[in-house]
Amino acid sequence: MRIGIIGAGNMGAALGKIWAKAGHEVIFSYSRDQHKLRQLAASAGKTAQVGTPQEAVAHSDVILFAVWAPSLAEVIHAVGPLDSKIVITCVSGIQPDFTGQTIGLATDLTISVAETIQQLAPNARVVEAFNTTFAEILASDSRQFGSEFPSVFYCGDDSEAKQLVAGLIEACGYEAVDAGKLIVARTLETLATAWVQFAVASQLFPNLGLKALRR
């Protein structure tokens, strides 16, 4: 699979590396530091390269948005057409000081960031995922906690896109849990903020994994 990474920070770097090492063709983009991007691609292996955000989108079937919420509208404008692309968003809307949650973007403050992406790119196939993971765990050697593997909740309106994203979640060593339609992103993004706040308050950050238990 060809995967374009928009945002090469904690999340973009960690996820891109995992997918590149699993054999996917990964293009890292959208950093203010080209040297950092080149080093990242080199460390991710032979199937990784560097590109502009436009190249990352144009040459990929799946796009990961791993940027901060305030820059998202600008990013979507900059990357060009997203028609028919599967867009994974891990953008939680958490405020940088972890104290609160931005619901949606300036276009509509009542909906989720993920739904806002869908509004800005109506023909993209948007799936929200990885919001309750911590980049430090993704960057570590394993996602295992004792005998358990944490869950990653994902949601979206395109069932084929969701199935593909579930495979990419499992490739990272998580259990993929279908949380429903894209509207569920409103609560998933808020859950992500609560999860970070709990991790900080409990002083366990980042050594926590969220798990859906069943009986």
Ligand X SMILES: NC(=O)c1ccc[n+]([C@@H]2O[C@H](COP(=O)([O-])OP(=O)(O)OC[C@H]3O[C@@H](n4cnc5c(N)ncnc54)[C@H](OP(=O)(O)O)[C@@H]3O)[C@@H](O)[C@H]2O)c1
Using alpha carbons, list the distances in angstroms from residue 42 to 13, 38, 91, 92, 130: 12, 6, 25, 28, 24
Length of the chain: 215
Residue type, 79: V
* Residue span binding ligand X (CB under 6 A) among the ranges 44-52, 78-86, 101-109, 129-137: 129-137
Answer for which of 3, 4, 11, 17 binds ligand X (CB under 6 A) is 11
User: Residue 161 has which token pair?
Assistant: 């896109």
Q: Tell me how far apart the alpha carbons of residues 133 and 174 are, in angstroms, rounded to a whole number.
A: 10
Minimum Å gap between C-beta 22 and ligand X is 20
Q: Choose, by CB under 6 A, the member of 104, 133, 162, 199 that binds ligand X.
A: 133
Tokens representing 126?
């948007």
User: Which residues, listed in sequence order, are joined to residue 64 by a DSSP beta bridge?
Assistant: 5, 88
Q: What is the DSSP string of 26-39?
A: EEEE--S-HHHHHH
Q: What are phi and psi of 89, to 5 degrees?
A: -115, 130
The residue number with the shortest CB distance to ligand X is 9
User: What span, in angstroms and rounded, lies between the C-alpha atoms of 134 and 74?
Assistant: 25
Q: Which of 49, 92, 101, 151 binds ligand X (CB under 6 A)?
A: 92
Does position 30 interact with ligand X (CB under 6 A)? The reply is: yes
Residues 141-200 that bind ligand X (CB under 6 A): none
Count of residues in contact with ligand X, rule CB under 6 A: 25
Instruction: Among 27, 82, 88, 91, indicate the residue that binds ligand X (CB under 6 A).
Output: 91
With tokens 């990784």, the residue in question is: 48
Q: Is 31 in the site for ligand X (CB under 6 A)?
A: yes
Query: What x/- string results for residues 46 through 85 when contact with ligand X is judged by CB under 6 A?
Result: --------------------xxxx-x--------------
Q: Which residues bind ligand X (CB under 6 A)?
A: 7-12, 30-33, 36, 66-69, 71, 90-92, 94, 130-131, 133-135
